[in-house]
Amino acid sequence: MTEKRTGLGWIGTTLALVAAFAAGYLLGGAPASAPPAPSGEVRAELEALLALPRGVERTGRFVGVLEGLTEERAEIVAETFEADFSLPSQYEIRLFAGEWAKQAPETALMRALAWKDRAARLSGGGEAIQVWARENPAAARQALAEISEEPSELRGALSTALAIGWIDSGVDPQGLAPYLSGLTEWDRERATRQLIDKLVADRGPEAAMRWAEAIPEDAPFGFRNLAFRKISLVVGVAEPERVAQWLEPHRERRYGQSGFRILGRTWASHDPEAAIAWATSQPDDRARFLSVKFAFERWYEDDKETALAWLRNAPPGALLDPAYLMVALVDGPTDPAGAADAALRIEDDAMRADTLGKVLGPWVQSAPEDAKRWLDASELSQENRAMVLRHMNRAARRMPRARAPKPPGEVTSP
């Protein structure tokens, strides 16, 4: 039976693998069952092992120092690290902070957050709060909420570590949704992505999908929408068909359509023809529109010639409108004539007029005669031509106007 790995599995594995090895190095070779060494000997042993090259021997001796970590020994390790943070590795800082947090989580966290070395704060503080959250997520969350003066970067790292420890705890994982939704946008994005990565790796895609589906639709900041996007990205790389099946019942909801959009791009990144075949086979609705548009967009970015060849050879139909829309918008700034030709192939009248307006509006500004010749040569009806002109004028009004040059010698105030 495969053993389940948690967010701190690497610490447990390390301790198990080197425990026996460490016994031979404890305090210069004393047996593991020896009585606690005087603090001076512990400090000397720690300083000696930090002078060793990084490797198995050093790791074994360091784990030996952490075995049966007491408050006194933790203080010695902390003081030795603080004297010169270039000596311990980030791995050793995390290992120490995690072991200390098992005994005194609040003390370990606050001490780590007081370290002047930025990398040590991130490593030690993150490990301490993750260990704490594994045992008592409510207490860890409360402690983090009371730390108001920390810089945003550190707070984001701590929030992510807390979320991962919370998942490991098995305590009310649904409580994570309101917690994560209350973070700043960047922290919310990062923490949610890492959390879903962990859920998928530890418990499988279904666990992540169940977690997302249980998030209330009215969660703040569209958090359910965010969770569906992240799952479509994480799982869609390897199992796009599974994600497509999962999203199907949600295709009329905003969060489901966000998933279709992300899945289209993700699937097309490694198998564009399969992604387009799936996207164009769906019912005619908003979800299909987003799937086609973003799948074709990714294909067009990666292999423009092949994507265009497919589009030209595909049977005409409104299901291709989002693909032609994407070509027109992408090529408009560099190839307005080609972009206008693509827009002209859009079957939906309103979408075609709007897209032509977005292409022709800037073109009229940069090359009015060329734009006028193209429009005069087009086969648009008078009604559609009038509609396009309205959209052109609207697009032109939204463009920033060029400023008149200032007279020579005029000084611009700061």
CA distances from 9 to 63, 77, 98, 112, 130 (A): 15, 23, 12, 21, 12
Q: What's the burial of 61, exposed, middle or buried (CB within 10 Å: 0-12/13-18/19+)?
A: buried
Q: What is the pLDDT of residues 360-402, one digit of tens each?
A: 888 988 898 998 899 888 888 888 788 888 777 776 666 655 4
Listed residue (32, 9, 8, 12) closest to 20, CA to CA: 32
Task: Tell me what pLDDT residue 281 has.
Answer: 93
CA distance 8 to 5: 8
pTM of model > 0.75: no
Res. 201: pLDDT tops 70: yes
Q: What is the pLDDT of residues 303-344, one digit of tens each?
A: 999 999 999 899 888 889 999 999 999 999 999 999 999 999
Evaluate whether 97 touches 108 at the Cβ level (below 8 Å). yes
CA distance 166 to 175: 9
Question: Which tokens belong to 55?
Answer: 């490797």
Question: Which tokens belong to 256?
Answer: 């489901």
Listed residue (158, 43, 72) closest to 110, CA to CA: 158
Q: What is the pLDDT of residues 232-256, one digit of tens each?
A: 999 999 999 999 999 999 999 999 9
Listed residue (125, 221, 235, 207) closest to 179, CA to CA: 221
Listed residue (209, 211, 216) closest to 249, CA to CA: 209
CA distance 385 to 340: 13
